[in-house]
């Protein structure tokens, strides 16, 4: 027995016989990687859909508005200011108030929007230069 001599023909024939097994292992590994990638993308998509459904559920089942838009509400909001007039036209209240400082105006806008109403028009002008604004506002539901 000669240990220094290696018979390469046997190894070549062996690899030639098992080449289909190697090909199949290669294809199975590519298929497995593709399956994992698709599964990961599908889970990501399902998570996004679940998030949108959760947001939709929260929007649909949010707490209902308890306040209604009427002249009493507008007078209560502008209680600390001088109201020149309130008019109800086309489903919205037109309000004109004078001598409103910027902090009071910001609080009024915040309160109206926090109560769920929309300010469709807002014009604040300072004729005095002392930051006492004359405000024209249209509030709608």
Average pLDDT value for residue range 127-138 = 86
Average pLDDT value for residue range 118-124 = 92
Least confident range from 4-8, 79-83, 115-119: namely 4-8
- What pLDDT digit, counting tens, does each position of 21-34 carry? 889 999 999 999 99
On whether the pTM is more than 0.75, the answer is: no
Question: Is the model more confident about 16 or about 122?
Answer: 122
Say what percent of the chain tops pLDDT 90. Answer: 43
Which pairs from 98-106 meet CB under 8 Å and 24+ separation?
98/132, 98/133, 98/134, 98/135, 99/132, 99/133, 99/134, 100/124, 100/132, 100/133, 100/134, 100/135, 101/131, 101/132, 101/133, 102/131, 102/133, 104/80, 105/133, 105/135
Least confident range from 12-21, 36-45, 97-106: namely 12-21
- What pLDDT digit, counting tens, does each position of 49-100 carry? 999 999 888 888 876 666 888 889 999 998 888 888 899 988 899 999 988 8
State which fold the 71-140 domain adopts: Gyrase A; domain 2 (3.30.1360)
């Amino acid at each position: 027995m000669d240990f220094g001599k290696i018979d390469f023909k046997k190894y070549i024939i062996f690899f030639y016989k098992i080449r289909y097994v190697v090909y199949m292992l290669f294809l199975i590994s590519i298929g497995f990687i593709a399956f994992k990638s698709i599964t990961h993308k599908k889970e990501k998509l399902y998570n996004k859909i679940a998030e949108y459904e959760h947001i939709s559920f929260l929007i649909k089942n949010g707490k209902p508005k308890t306040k209604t838009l009427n002249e009493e509400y507008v007078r209560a909001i502008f209680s600390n200011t001088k109201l020149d007039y309130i008019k109800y036209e086309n489903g919205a209240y037109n309000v004109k108030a004078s001598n409103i400082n910027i902090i009071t105006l910001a609080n009024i806008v915040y309160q109206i929007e926090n109560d769920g109403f929309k300010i469709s028009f807002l014009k604040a002008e300072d004729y005095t230069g002392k930051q006492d604004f004359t405000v024209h506002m249209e509030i709608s539901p």
